[in-house]
Amino acid sequence: MTPDLAIDLFKSTLLFALYVVAPFLIVSLVVGLATSLIQSVTSLQEQTLTFAPKLVALGATGLLLGPWLLRSLVEFTTSVFARMGSMGP
């Protein structure tokens, strides 16, 4: 394996990881901002109130995006395995 090929594989893996995780991070950010806004408006400063909505929202996101995530992971894994033939000595 050449260093250029290893760097390209590492770069594509990191970009794909960001691609897969980005929807969950965005949902978590939006739900966290909404709950903190509600807490500041109602003056209700309970720390456990931020956990439950995020958990429900991330679970729903996982259920909604499950087929897309699985398809994307299978396509990425297939492409990595297909490139393994050119990685040999």
Q: What is the pLDDT of residues 14-35, one digit of tens each?
A: 999 999 999 999 999 999 999 9
The two three-digit tokens of residue 1, written as one number: 């394996």
Question: Do 23 and 72 contact (CB within 8 A), yes or no?
Answer: no
Residue pLDDT, tens place only, 47-67: 778 888 999 999 999 999 999
The ranges assigned to domains in the chain are 3-86
pTM: predicted TM-score of the whole model, two decimal places:
0.80
Residues 6+ apart with CB under 8 A from 54: 28, 31, 32, 35
At which residue do the structure tokens 């297939």 appear?
A: 78
Contact call for residues 50 and 36 (beta carbons, < 8 A): yes
Side chain identity at residue 48, one-letter code: T
